[in-house]
């Protein structure tokens, strides 16, 4: 699972991110390129075009939804079944898909944005009794990044 979430677990509003962190986009691209990415329909539709060099798996309950170049399924279980077992696959959002995918996840790559935002989509709360923080890298606001943020890697206990 890979996400960027605010202090209040906000992910976005009106199907858009509410911050712009270029280094986080670079990290997302570096981690997910060459892999399967699982997302909900609204997350997929928020992209201007499919992300290059990744297999897109879109979860949708809409019948006859079939965007070009994507694998469309109607459940998180079917999405995971399409992914190769010997390769990393990433659940990339949105909020509902993160909630559905959390029980199947063994690693969370989270960018924690050190600010709170008004939002309509939220990342699930990480239960510290189930997850351990194994890596943390602080990053500070600068001319391209309006907020401090921390890359965090959690593994399931």
In this predicted structure, what is the pLDDT of residue 99?
Answer: 97
pLDDT, tens only, 106-156: 999 999 999 999 999 999 999 999 999 999 999 999 999 999 999 999 999
Over range 38-51, report the average pLDDT. Answer: 94
Q: From CA 72, how far away is CA 12, in angstroms rounded?
A: 23
In this predicted structure, what is the pLDDT of residue 13?
Answer: 95
Task: Kindly report the backbone phi and psi dihedral angles of residue 96, in degrees, each rounded to the nearest multiple of 5, phi listed first.
Answer: -65, -40
In this predicted structure, what is the pLDDT of residue 88?
Answer: 94
In this predicted structure, what is the pLDDT of residue 104?
Answer: 96
In this predicted structure, what is the pLDDT of residue 134?
Answer: 98
In this predicted structure, what is the pLDDT of residue 114?
Answer: 98
Task: Kindly report the backbone phi and psi dihedral angles of residue 107, in degrees, each rounded to the nearest multiple of 5, phi listed first.
Answer: -140, 135
pLDDT, tens only, 53-65: 999 999 999 999 9
DSSP character string of 102-137: GGG-SEEEEEEESS----SEEPPP--TTTEEEEEEE
CATH topology (fold) of 2-156: Dihydrofolate Reductase, subunit A (3.40.430)
48's CB contacts (< 8 A; 6+ apart) are none
Q: From CA 111, how far away is CA 120, in angstroms rounded?
A: 18
Q: From CA 105, how far away is CA 42, in angstroms rounded?
A: 21
């Amino acid at each position: 699972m890979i996400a960027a979430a605010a202090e209040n677990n906000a992910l976005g509003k009106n199907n858009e991110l509410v911050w712009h962190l270029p280094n986080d986009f670079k990290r997302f691209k570096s981690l997910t390129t060459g892999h399967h990415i699982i997302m909900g329909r609204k997350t997929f539709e928020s992209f201007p075009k499919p992300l290059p060099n990744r297999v897109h798996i879109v979860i949708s309950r809409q019948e006859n939804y079939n965007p070009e170049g994507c694998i469309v399924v109607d459940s998180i279980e079917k999405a995971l079944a399409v992914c190769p077992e010997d390769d990393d696959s990433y659940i990339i959002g949105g909020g509902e898909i993160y909630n559905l995918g959390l029980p199947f996840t063994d690693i969370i790559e989270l960018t924690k944005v050190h600010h709170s935002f008004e939002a309509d989509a939220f990342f699930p709360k990480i239960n510290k009794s189930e997850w351990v923080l194994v890596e943390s890298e602080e990053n500070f606001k600068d001319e391209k990044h309006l907020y401090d943020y921390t890359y965090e890697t959690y593994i399931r206990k």
